[in-house]
Amino acid sequence: MDFQPAERLRKLPPYPFADLRRKKAEARKKGVKVIAIDIGDPDMPTPDPVIDELCRAVRDEGDPNRHRYGCDVPVADFPQAVRDFYQRRWGVALREDQVVTTSGSKDAIAQMGMALLNPGDVGIAPTPGYPTYNIAHVFASAVTYYAPLLRQNGFLVDFDAIPLEVRRQAKILWLNYPNNPTTATADLEFFKRAVEFGRKHDILIAHDSAYSENVYDGYRSPSILQVDGAEDVAVEFFSLSKGFNMTGWRVGAVAGNASAVKALASVKDNVDNGTLRAVQFAAAKALNAADELTPKINAVYQKRRDMVVEALRKNGWSVDKPKATIYIWAPVPERYKGSSGAFAAELFEKTGVSVTPGLVYGQWGEGFYRISLTYSEETLREALDRIMELRA
Ligand SMILES: *Cc1c(COP(=O)(O)O)cnc(C)c1O
């Protein structure tokens, strides 16, 4: 039997990394030594205190619920740790009904589409951007309007450029700062404008803060919930994945507007069974120890960042030094005339180094490429040495 996939699957763009994965596998088979510096999944291990807490909790015979559904017997420590963290980190006071535990942001983003969108509604997603915002819309039979992030605007969404018709039909607008893939950051003034825009047009501002803790040179990223009245129109998708080296653990939280939090919680009650209690205990531990844990992680990324930026500049290629995220986002060298695909393909063919062409993040990512800092200094060094060969 050959089953036809549902309409919603046929409407999906091809998963951008599938193509890259295939290309790398084929080259490896041919004996090419491939050096990939393209995927954003932290290489460093989860910090020891977090692992210790996981082990303690999963072995705790005094907890009769340790094996049970994480949603039915949730660990109160985790949402409490999220609230304490928001208070300490951003001076934001969250009520209990303003926080829901998630199995990570990717899942929660897709679930938020189901929670809020009706068929034919519009969702606004930035481009270049994380693909899951569009997926959330498509799975809810809604439609995506893409808001371009342009370099001359600091890769910030230009609210004034969103057409009136789109503002009228849109129910949700996604933001993501510090931004993947552009590495751009937003200040509170920008978030204030976002909140005003949401209030004026009745649009939920959904801020994906996946990289809020990956910060350098003393930079501290703001939370949209710091804006006065943000809780009326905004939610923030907080995740431990990137900041605490916990991508596989599947834990995060959505915080902010209580009605949106409630709608998301209602979807979750019906489609997932929550995160293992031991993981929730360990995630609480991570947040409570954030001040000790994240600076150590960031020091490693900062060193890698400096190394990559310096090498690319030495090669005569222009590149900005990001103050947040785990990426370098750079314009493709001039002779490729803005084609990120041509650059990435030639680089791969001649040197075996795989970077991500900006085009995979959407049309407006064209002209740029992304390097991920989630590789050892040794790997990055070798990749850079090979990239130098391309200059000739
Ligand atoms: C990695 C990433 C996520 C996914 O985070 P999880 O919590 O692991 O699902 C979400 N948004 C952006 C922009 C990301 O880069």
Q: What is the CATH number of the domain that holds 224?
A: 3.40.640.10
Q: Whose CA is nearest to atom 15 of ligand 1?
A: 180
Atom of ligand 1 nearest to the CA of 40: 1
Point out the domain boundary residue: 289, 315, 346: 289
Q: Whose CA is nearest to atom 11 of ligand 1?
A: 210
Is 216 within the bounds of a domain?
Answer: yes
Is 233 within the bounds of a domain?
Answer: yes
Q: Which amino acid is at 255?
A: A
Atom of ligand 1 nearest to the CA of 41: 1
Paired residues of 238 in beta bridges: 253
| Length of the chain (residues) | 392
Q: Where are the alpha helices (DSSP H) in the chain?
A: 7-10, 16-29, 48-59, 77-90, 105-116, 132-139, 164-169, 188-201, 258-271, 277-288, 290-314, 340-351, 377-389
Atom of ligand 1 nearest to the CA of 242: 1
Q: Are residues 228 and 299 in the same domain?
A: no
Distance from residue 229's CA to the centre of ligand 1 (Å): 26
Q: Are residues 53 and 112 in the same domain?
A: yes
In this structure, what token pair is assigned to residue 370? 């992304």
Q: Are residues 35 and 177 in the same domain?
A: no
Least confident span in 12-21, 40-49, 245-254, 332-341? 12-21
Q: Are residues 206 and 156 in the same domain?
A: yes
Q: Are residues 352 and 334 in the same domain?
A: yes
Pocket test for ligand 1, best of 46, 130, 373 (most atoms within 8 A of CB): 130
Q: Are residues 39 and 53 in the same domain?
A: no
Q: Whose CA is nearest to atom 12 of ligand 1?
A: 210
Q: Are residues 251 and 320 in the same domain?
A: no
Q: Are residues 16 and 102 in the same domain?
A: no
In tens, the pLDDT along 89-102 reads: 999 999 999 999 99
Position 392 pLDDT exceeds 60? no
Distance of alpha carbon 251 from alpha carbon 37, whole angstroms: 25
Position 116 pLDDT exceeds 70? yes
Position 332 pLDDT exceeds 70? yes
Q: pLDDT > 90: what percent of the chain? A: 88
Q: Are residues 210 and 232 in the same domain?
A: yes
Position 14 pLDDT exceeds 80? no
Confidence band, pLDDT 50/70/90 cuts, at residue 389: confident
In tens, the pLDDT along 232-291 reads: 999 999 999 999 999 999 999 999 999 999 999 999 999 999 999 999 999 999 999 999
**Residue 328 φ/ψ, nearest 5 degrees:** -115, 130
Point out the domain boundary residue: 238, 259, 289: 289
Q: Are residues 334 and 230 in the same domain?
A: no
In tens, the pLDDT along 130-174 reads: 999 999 999 999 999 999 999 999 999 999 999 999 999 999 999
Q: Which residues line ligand 1 (CB under 6 A)?
A: 40, 104-106, 130, 176, 180, 208, 210, 239, 241-242, 247, 252
Distance from residue 206's CA to the centre of ligand 1 (Å): 13
Give me the pLDDT at residue 16, please: 66
Distance of alpha carbon 35 from alpha carbon 386, whole angstroms: 9
Distance of alpha carbon 254 from alpha carbon 205, whole angstroms: 12
Q: Whose CA is nearest to atom 14 of ligand 1?
A: 210
Q: Are residues 203 and 337 in the same domain?
A: no
Point out the domain boundary residue: 238, 269, 289: 289
Is 2 within the bounds of a domain?
Answer: no
Is 124 within the bounds of a domain?
Answer: yes
CATH of the domain at 387: 3.90.1150.10
| Parent domain of 327 | 7-45+292-391
Is 1 within the bounds of a domain?
Answer: no
Distance of alpha carbon 2 from alpha carbon 184, whole angstroms: 45
DSSP letters along 302-367, please? HHHHHHHHHHHHHTT------SBSSEEEEEPPGGGTT-HHHHHHHHHHHH-EE-EEGGGG-GGGTT
Tally the domains of the chain.
2
Q: Are residues 52 and 162 in the same domain?
A: yes
